Amino acid sequence: MMKNLILIFGILIISCFTLLAQENNNIENVDYLIANVKENIVYFGVDNPIKVVVSNYDMSEINVEVEGAKIKTTDTPSLYVVYDIDPNAGKIVTINLFHKNRKIGNSSFRVLYAPQPVISVFGLKQNSQVHMGQLFNANILASVPQDFPYDFMYKVESFTFEIENDNGEINSFKVEGNSLRDNEEALESLKEKGKSGNKVYFKDFVVVGGGVIYNNFPSICVTLL
């Protein structure tokens, strides 16, 4: 569900507030903590771990609600998950704390989209040389950047495959999916025209994730051995 839960406690950016609450005609200080793992940011399409602690109260007495998203408990005490953020809710998600229907605190978090994924074609580097057989079963993958602290799933919806023939002409195929196996014409063209020294191109990638469409990727060119 999330990567490295230890991060939650290791790099918490803490939003801690104190307010005066009226209860039973007595004024008391209510200290509470609503902490996120990364600079008060939550992401679309991600299970965002949030730590909630309220002093002098059992957490079973506290209702935790969220505006603009959904929230659920976890097996870890005081640890919640904010998820399914509403894209129409604006750029802020607010978590509210209630005790016996009385609001005792809140904290807001900026909402961002997950970063643009990294595209990989069978781990091939730009302008590398490959055997034709390597491309038959090659999958195009979209993965999170290494410094992104969450697990996140992207899906490659489509791409364009181009192959150069002996005359230098380019044959182009739109592939709906993440592999040449998803387009028989493209696969047959590779088998028929794939000769040593010919170039093949993977381009026009369309990737979706977290309700976002990503389509601004550099093309990948390799040469057949």
Alpha carbon distance 129, 201 (integer Å): 12
Can you say whether the dihedral through the CA atoms of 113, 119, 120, 124 is positive or negative? negative
Q: Are residues 66 and 142 in the same domain?
A: no
Per-residue pLDDT tens, the chain, 225 aa: give them.
433 333 333 333 333 333 333 333 333 456 777 776 556 789 998 899 999 999 888 888 999 999 999 999 999 889 999 999 998 888 999 999 999 889 999 999 999 988 999 999 988 888 889 999 889 888 999 999 988 888 888 999 999 999 988 787 899 999 999 999 999 999 999 998 888 889 999 999 999 998 889 999 999 999 999
Q: Are residues 67 and 136 in the same domain?
A: no
Show which of 90, 112, 134 is a domain's final residue.
Answer: 112
Q: Are residues 47 and 125 in the same domain?
A: no
Instruction: Tell me the backbone φ, ψ of residue 164, rounded to 5 degrees.
Output: -90, 135
Query: CATH number for the domain including 185?
Result: 2.60.40
Show which of 91, 112, 133 is a domain's final residue.
Answer: 112
- The answer to whether 7 touches 37, Cβ cutoff 8 Å, is yes
Domain span at 207: 118-224
Q: Is residue 169 part of a domain?
A: yes
Show which of 79, 95, 112 is a domain's final residue.
Answer: 112
Q: Is residue 1 part of a domain?
A: no
